[in-house]
Amino acid sequence: MNGKVLLVDDEPHITRNLEKVIPWSMLGLEIIGTAKNGVEALELLQSEPADLVLCDIRMPVMDGLELVRHIRERSMPCDIIMLTGYQDFSYTRAAIQYGVKDYILKPIPYDELTGVIARVMSEQRNKRMQLKEEQRKLSRIIDIANEKILYDVLLDYTDITPDNWLMAGQEQQLGNPQYTVIVLDIDAGSADAKDWREWPDKERKIWNFAVCNVLRETLQLAHLHNSVIQMRDGEWCVLIQGGASESGSSREQGAVQMKQWAEMLLDSVKHNAKLQLHAGIYDKVAAMTELSTAYKAVQRGMQLSTETVAIAFYSSELAGGFETGRTLWDIAERLIGAMKRGDAAGVDEEQKRIADQLQKAGGSAEGRLKPLLHFLALHLMRELKEADLLPRELEEALWRKMDLHFSVKDLFAAIRQASDEGVARSTDKRKHSERQMVDAKQFIDRYLYRDLSVEDAATHVGLSTSHFSLLFKQTFGETFIEYITRQRMETAKSLLLETPKSVAQIAKEVGYAERRYFTKVFMKYTGQIPTEYRMALQGEIAPVSLDEEPGEWR
């Protein structure tokens, strides 16, 4: 697509020469019109925006500099090259102030002007490409942030509000959008996935990343507004905004559309990533507030299904009314939660509940219980691996056992072995984290009155800043900054009460180089400036201190 050029000069022979001599087509430009003065030029620009304006300075009615001023005030996105027969510094200075790209003296050197035009348009193209790339990167950053939010929503970790969304976008405009929910999963226990199970962790991560990209690109090519969230190793949740049912089609037609989307995704992964996945679809579109229910229903259905099909629909109700399956699934979810918390008693309690369910079902139900336990064991192993609670050696040993398709008793033993290992490792991790936090607290208390940052404390215990901040809040119930501020303010209160030291001295002793900043923090913490606090405790009326200016803090 060619760029647009407007020629502005009160001398017709100048505009005619410009039209004929400059190789506009070669430069990727076309002339949208000519004007004899600034007023005509503005009218043309308002009706058809230009990318480049070539403009004389001295013209009747409205001169070139006045035209440029109007263009800039109206934020018209065009570059300007000035043409003039006057070599006057005041003109040059005004042109520079208005951001004119270049200043060409008459008689016009057309070869030089052609080179200037080529340079200006090249800069425009580069700027557009850079802006497009920055927008692409920003869009991806926003997508990543929103996918993290959606991950938390799917797992019911958070309540969704418009404020959760980074830069809001369509979600806020639509209020409560409807999503088609498709879960894509590798059948980890199948013979087809045996090679995948033997891949090292690094190779699996690369493959997981590649599948994510394939899914996103496929949906983008289909012009579907989507989010692709990796839920765990070998499992993705695809959310497609809207569905066929929104356009007035019947529910059956909506199901056909959902299935076509799932087939498209499976075919694309098979073709590009060379792996066979299975797809589970929630049987209706889900609102944002229903996403967690929809995802868990599909995941549960896929894990407990005894049928081997590429695509299946699932609802929030367990098919066939097999309550033992639902109960065992609920127990498994609680068991996983207890393991992640390092709650050994909770793990033991849930293991007993599984044993009770097996006892109640009796031997006659073994044919139905065996695949259920098999899938629950797979689910448990994958969740433990995702939480880094399953050592590679044990994982390989459990896979070997699972491949043998042994009895209900053996399957329960595998579940017990995996859960015991999981809670033990979780407990060890928790104890290690607790030791790290105790060490961090001692470090903070030791250097409390220095210029101490969260990075200093995190580095001291060998953690990333983000992970340290999370553990600190979980352990002590307040953030790093809140803890330091509270400790400093409590020390300052004691010094104000027990010593005659000035506010400036106390500020330095508790780690604040600036007295004014200390006073501001103290007032926010106590509701009083330091001298008011001191006098109130001593039962006196606080005078205006010479080293404080109360008006600054109120």
The pLDDT of residue 158 is: 65
Strand, coil or helix: what is 499?
coil
Among the candidates 429, 457, 488, a domain finishes at: 429
Nearest C-alpha neighbor of 233 from the set 205, 202, 195, 211: 205
Predicted confidence band of residue 352 (pLDDT cuts 50, 70, 90):
confident
Residues 221 and 101 in one domain: no
The pLDDT of residue 345 is: 83
Asked if the structure places residue 143 within a domain, the reply is: no
Predicted confidence band of residue 550 (pLDDT cuts 50, 70, 90):
very low
Residues 18 and 113 in one domain: yes
Residues 460 and 541 in one domain: yes
Is the pLDDT reported for residue 218 higher than 60? yes
With beta carbons less than 8 A apart as the criterion, state whether 334 and 421 touch.
Answer: no
The pLDDT of residue 79 is: 92
Nearest C-alpha neighbor of 218 from the set 285, 272, 168: 272
Residues 301 and 364 in one domain: no
Residues 311 and 339 in one domain: no
With beta carbons less than 8 A apart as the criterion, state whether 90 and 116 touch.
Answer: no
| Structure tokens, 186 | 């590798």
Residues 116 and 191 in one domain: no
Asked if the structure places residue 312 within a domain, the reply is: yes
Residues 317 and 193 in one domain: yes
With beta carbons less than 8 A apart as the criterion, state whether 182 and 281 touch.
Answer: yes
Among the candidates 277, 303, 321, a domain finishes at: 321
Is the pLDDT reported for residue 178 higher than 90? no
**pLDDT higher at 249 or 45:** 45
Asked if the structure places residue 206 within a domain, the reply is: yes
Asked if the structure places residue 134 within a domain, the reply is: no
Asked if the structure places residue 159 within a domain, the reply is: no
Is the pLDDT reported for residue 249 higher than 60? no
CATH of residue 191's domain is 3.30.70.270
pTM for this prediction: 0.51
- Could you read off the pLDDT of 3-26 as tens digits, one per residue? 999 999 999 999 999 999 999 999
- Could you read off the pLDDT of 406-437 as tens digits, one per residue? 555 666 677 777 777 777 777 777 777 888 88
Q: How far is CA 382 from the centre of its chain?
A: 24
Domain that holds residue 381: 329-429
Asked if the structure places residue 468 within a domain, the reply is: yes
Residues 190 and 315 in one domain: yes
CATH of residue 549's domain is 1.10.10.60
CATH of residue 60's domain is 3.40.50.2300
Asked if the structure places residue 359 within a domain, the reply is: yes
Task: Calculate the average pLDDT of the chain.
Answer: 80
The pLDDT of residue 474 is: 80
The pLDDT of residue 170 is: 44
Q: Rounded to an integer, what distance in angstroms lies between the CA atom of residue 135 and that of residue 371?
A: 49
Residues 260 and 336 in one domain: no
| Structure tokens, 286 | 């889900």
Number of domains forming the structure of the chain = 4
Asked if the structure places residue 436 within a domain, the reply is: no
Is the pLDDT reported for residue 275 higher than 80? yes
The pLDDT of residue 117 is: 93
Among the candidates 382, 402, 429, a domain finishes at: 429
Is the pLDDT reported for residue 188 higher than 80? no
Residues 208 and 300 in one domain: yes
Is the pLDDT reported for residue 191 higher than 60? no
The pLDDT of residue 325 is: 62
